[in-house]
Structure 1
Amino acid sequence: MKKMTLTTKILVSLAGGIIVGLLLFPLKNIPFVEHYIIGFFLKLGGSVFIKSIKMLVVPLVFISLTVGSSAIGDTKKLGRIGIKTLSFYLFTTAVAITIALVLANIIDPGNGLVIESISKTSTVVSDSKSFVDVLIDIVPSNPISAMAKGNMLQVIFFALLTGMGLTILGDKVSKIKDLFDQSNDLILELVNLIMQLAPIGVFCLIATTFSTLGYQAMVPLFKYIMTTLLALLIHVLVTYQGLLYLAAKINPIVFIKKFIPAISVAFSTSSSGATIPVNLEILREKFGVSKSTSSFTIPLGASINMDGTSIMQGVAVVFIASAYGIQLNMGDYMMVILTATLASIGTAGVPGAGPIMLSMVLTQVGLPIEGIALIMGVDRIIDMNRTAVNITGDAVCTLIIAKSEGEDISGEVKAELI
């Protein structure tokens, strides 16, 4: 096990948890199994892992967004390029999660999975508010109270405002910036430490699920995976390629052929940051994008463009709500879109942070965070695919921005442009 990567360990733990859970299922009413194996050992391992995730949510969001927004503030120096880039990334993120929510409601992957017996929770979906009240409530009257209560939209607002303030003050607050940068390094290391517990947590959580539900949990989980992958595919082929064709007049087939090396790196590493060099090389050498444009849009995209993660969050929200028998209304879905879009700024560069950031979205709409237990084990499978989606969006944005700025982006594919 020591020689395995974390991804492999989680997948092995997932398989082991399913097997153990199915073996325990016919024995679940035996007192020793019920009280000691399921009620003590499995509950202890799973609960500690979930509480560890909860512990990091607020500091992770606040610190990551503050650091991210302070860096994004520098885009003012790049004028309209910065505005275009930020608008593209936020727009496509909102579209991505909308696709996920619509598709998940049509397929309803959590249908047939009833888990109230696994985790009793007092969490309920809050009453729907008018749109103006939602906008008003984004501004916290007490940011410390917002953090304590886990009001994530208010935390996000305060973090973005803090980042903007740091940018405006510049060198006057260099020591505070350094403190936030160091705090960000610290919180990322804490995330890494918590993720080392993921194999144990996944094993215990999945084993508990299947020991209580038996085989009925397998079909909904498979539907969740397929729904997420289908939403990712639609976003890449329809949203990205549609925008690429309309705005940059580039043949989508040509783009995909030229971009396959970057997709392969993203799929194998599950890291947007690790794909930056090959992404830059392809855009500059195969499409002729200028160094000044690509050097800005690609690193920024690796920091804030999290369309794939947003899709996972959208499908997961519907899946968990259905599994717990909680009805979400249109106001709740709008809140998911808004929260996930804003949170995308702070998601990138945080290893294994997808499920952690999902807990923030679940908290905002009043869904049980314990529901993450159902998808944590298969998240690594989805992670590889959503990273490929993320970096594809970075490249599409770069090509569109370059085209809008009058650059000749034909490069060596001039004859293949539409």
Structure 2
Amino acid sequence: MKSRFIVKAIVVGMVLGVALGGVLHSQLDAAGAKEISTYLNMITDVFLRLIKMVIAPLVLATLVTGVASMSGSGSIGRVGFKAISWFLIASLVSLGIGLVLANLLQPGTGLNLTVDPNQAVNTGLSAGSLSLPVFLSHVFPRSIIEAMGSNEVLQIVIFSLFFGSALAFVKGTGKSLIVDVLEELANVMFKVTDYVMYVAPFAVFAAIASTVTVHGLGMVMTFGKMVAQFFLGIALLWLLISLAGYLALGQRMKPLLSLMREPLLIAFSTASSEAAYPKTIAALEKFGAN
């Protein structure tokens, strides 16, 4: 019931954001629109910061307890190998679909966005070449505190696997106070995530209102075509993933898709995989418990 309410509120926020952005764009000049857009983006930035605040402790708690609950190193290795294999195959399929659709549909054609040649533009992308030392430095953490502070999820996953494996060996078949504490931490962070998700409709409203305020309602249709093409690629990918999951899980695939509905809707509505990450973990934990 709560998840349905949040999803409905997100949809309402999208509609209201378009309406407010259209009104502000028609009433303000370019300088005023950019200033208002800056204030609106503050709400979205707060939401994304809250999401990032939740991710590190939630990933650490859930992965360590999950690995520690396995019977032995053999099961851990099998699960890890299957997870990595699935991730690599899904990534390759996703890249293939993206390359085919990008060449066929030419997304972004007609946007006619110009960049001031006298103004430096930061794309947020690293221009350095990828090498093995750079790759390893991003995979293996120097400090778990540093990894959690910078939200390096892959580094947190690596530490959690080592820590969970060692914890499983130390505790043997008995109980462990550390596992109990981490399970309680995971439950608390799931509740914190629920609180944070109440901010999602306001963040979506602010993000859309900010964009429409600067670019106008005409950009809604133009961006809409590009987003529709993106959703087409996502739909094709999920169709293939669902078919593969059905072959592997059989009828259990249906309850898994039902549990994944909320994180998927949140990811699409907020355009942020980080926003959906905590809910994805919760869905997988619930599916594994069943």
**Structure 2 length normalisation: TM-score?**
0.70
After superposition, what is the alpha-carbon deviation per residue over 1:393-412, rounded to whole angstroms, capped at 9, x for unaligned? Answer: x9xxxxxxxxxxxxxxxxxx
Q: Would the aligned equivalents of 2:58 and 2:189 in 1 still touch at CA under 8 Å?
A: yes
> What SS does structure 1 have at the residue aligned with 2:61?
helix
Give 1:192 shift: 0.8
Rounded to whole Å, the distance in 1 between the matches of 2:38 and 2:72 is 53
Question: What per-residue deviation string (whole Å, max 9, x for no partner) do you get for residues 110-158 of structure 1?
Answer: 56385999xx996732222213541354222222222223333322211
1:55 alignment counterpart: 53
Match of 1:66 in 2: 64
Matches within 5 A, 1:317-332: none
1:197-241 per-residue CA deviation (whole Å, 9 max, x = no partner) reads: 11111111111111111122443344234423434324534x665
Q: 1:90 aligns with which of 78, 87, 90?
A: 87
1:53 alignment partner AA: I
Is 1:350 the counterpart of 2:282? The answer is: yes
> Does the aligned pair in 2 maintain the 1:61–1:155 contact within 8 Å?
yes
Distance across 2 between alignment mates of 1:227 and 1:177: 41
Structure 1 residue aligned with 2:15: 15
Choose the corresponding residue for 1:216, options 214, 219, 223.
219
1:170-220 residue CA offsets vs partner (Å, 9 max, x unmatched):
356711011111111111111110101111111111111111111224433
Match of 1:205 among 197, 204, 207: 207
Give the counterpart of 1:181 among 177, 180, 183: 183
Identify unmatched segments of 5+ residues in structure 2: none
After superposition, where does 1:123-162 map in structure 2 within 5 Å? 124-126=124-126, 127-162=128-163
Measure, in 2, the Cα distance between the counterparts of 1:63 and 1:113: 46
Between the aligned residues of both structures, percent identity stands at 20
Cα deviation digits, residues 2-38 of structure 1 (max 9, x gap): 9971111110111111111112112232887765x54
Q: 1:48 to 1:86 in 2, by over 3 A?
A: closer
Unaligned runs of 5+ residues in structure 1 are 249-254, 275-305, 318-339, 352-390, 395-418
Name the SS for the 1:5 alignment partner.
helix
> Which runs of structure 2 are paired with 1:206-355 in the superposition (5 Å)?
206-214=208-216, 215-234=218-237, 236-237=239-240, 241=243, 263=254, 269=258, 271-272=259-260, 348-350=280-282
Provide the C-alpha distance between the structure 1 equivalents of 2:197 and 2:230, rounded to a whole number of angstroms: 25
Distance 1:273 1:211, change over 3 A: closer
Counterparts of 2:112 and 2:189 in 1: how far apart (Å)? 35
- Mapped to 1, the partners of 2:280 and 2:135 lie a distance apart of 26
CA contact under 8 A between 2:98 and 2:233: conserved in structure 1? Answer: no
- Greater relative contact order (CA < 8 Å, ≥ 6 in sequence): 2
Q: Secondary structure at the match of 2:281?
A: coil
Q: CA deviation at 1:82?
A: 4.9
Deviation of the 1:92 alpha carbon = 3.9
Between 189-198 and 97-106, the greater mean CA deviation after superposition: 97-106
Matched pairs, number: 271
SS in 2 for 1:141: coil
Output the CA distance in 1 between the equivalents of 2:221 and 2:200.
20
Question: Do the aligned partners of residues 140 and 228 (structure 1) sit closer, same or farther apart at CA in structure 2, a change above 3 Å counting?
Answer: same
1:60-87 per-residue CA deviation (whole Å, 9 max, x = no partner) reads 333333334334x447566997577546
Q: Distance in 2 between matches of 1:138 and 1:3?
A: 34
- Relative distance call for 1:50 and 1:192 in structure 2 (3 A) is same
2:193 maps to what in 1? 191
Conserved? CA contact 1:272–1:349, under 8 Å:
no
Distance change in 2, residues 1:202/1:149 (3 Å): same
Q: Distance in 2 between matches of 1:273 and 1:217?
A: 26
- Residue of structure 2 in register with 1:400 after alignment: none
Question: Quick one: distance in 2 between partners of 1:346 and 1:65?
Answer: 12
Preserved CA contact (<8 Å) 2:193 2:278: no
Tell me the SS of whatever aligns to 2:7: helix
Distance in 2 between the 1:97 and 1:235 partners? 9
> Are the aligned partners of 2:30 and 2:214 in contact in 1 as well (CA < 8 Å)?
no
Deviations 1:276-334 (A, max 9, x none): xxxxxxxxxxxxxxxxxxxxxxxxxxxxxx9x89x97xxx79xxxxxxxxxxxxxxxxx
Distance 2:238 2:191 in 1: 32
- Give the residue type in structure 2 aligned to 1:55: M
Aligned counterparts of 2:81 and 2:187: Cα–Cα separation in 1: 29
CA distance in 1 between counterparts of 2:215 and 2:281 reads 36
Q: Aligned partners of 2:13 and 2:97: how far apart in 1?
A: 28
Task: Read off the aligned partner of 1:46 and give its amino acid letter.
Answer: T
CA contact (8 A) 2:73 2:165 kept: no
Deviation at 1:162, TM superposition (A): 1.7
Amino acid at match of 1:50: L
